Amino acid sequence: MDDLALAPMAPLGVTLRPGPAWARHVLRVRDGAVAAAGAAFGVPLPRHACRASAGADRAALWLGPDEILLLSPEGGGAAVAAAFAASLERQAYALVDVSHRQVGFTVAGGQAASLLNAECPLDLRVSAFPVGMCTRTLFGRAEIVLWRQDETVFYLECWRSFASYLRQLAALIAAEPDL
């Protein structure tokens, strides 16, 4: 994954780096079990559309009315599954490990939103896409999950097979003089 990092993209001053090594799960759960699921995960699950909840070493990203992307420390996937099995044994839920399918990047710098907006159709101004917001969208021709962690820091997830494409596309965009 380190080979997917880019040096700061001059003159933008934007960096693209591999994100943390996460265990990734997609959780499908109904409203009646959301509180118990959050307790089992160790971070309250987001209750509002397109929002993320984060703790010291884990995050939960709302992707749909009953779909949450869970990010937790790498190697802890079995513990997450066991916690859900114990806490939600009488509830209907689905927990799927997608750790090997996806990778993440951190895009940071004062022009990070401009770089992303070159190939992402969303309005990424802070007023329209505030800190803590997340959603599925596109970057170029690849589906991504985009999460604004700070005013100038974004985290994006993509399928592993698109990682090189996203890196190369970001480098091409950064090389454009009119960005």
Instruction: Look at residue 32 in the predicted model and tell me its pLDDT.
Output: 85
* 2-19+102-175: in CATH 3.90.550.10: no
Q: Where are the domains of the chain?
A: 2-19+102-175, 22-97
**Predicted confidence (pLDDT) per residue in 100-143, tens digit:** 999 999 999 999 999 999 999 999 999 999 999 999 999 999 99
| pLDDT at residue 59 is higher than 60 | yes
SS3 47: coil
Pure H helices in the chain: 34-41, 77-87, 112-117, 163-175
Instruction: Look at residue 1 in the predicted model and tell me its pLDDT.
Output: 46
pTM of the model: 0.91
For domain 22-97, the CATH superfamily is Heterotetrameric sarcosine oxidase (3.30.70.1520)
Q: How far apart are CA 168 and CA 13, in angstroms?
A: 17
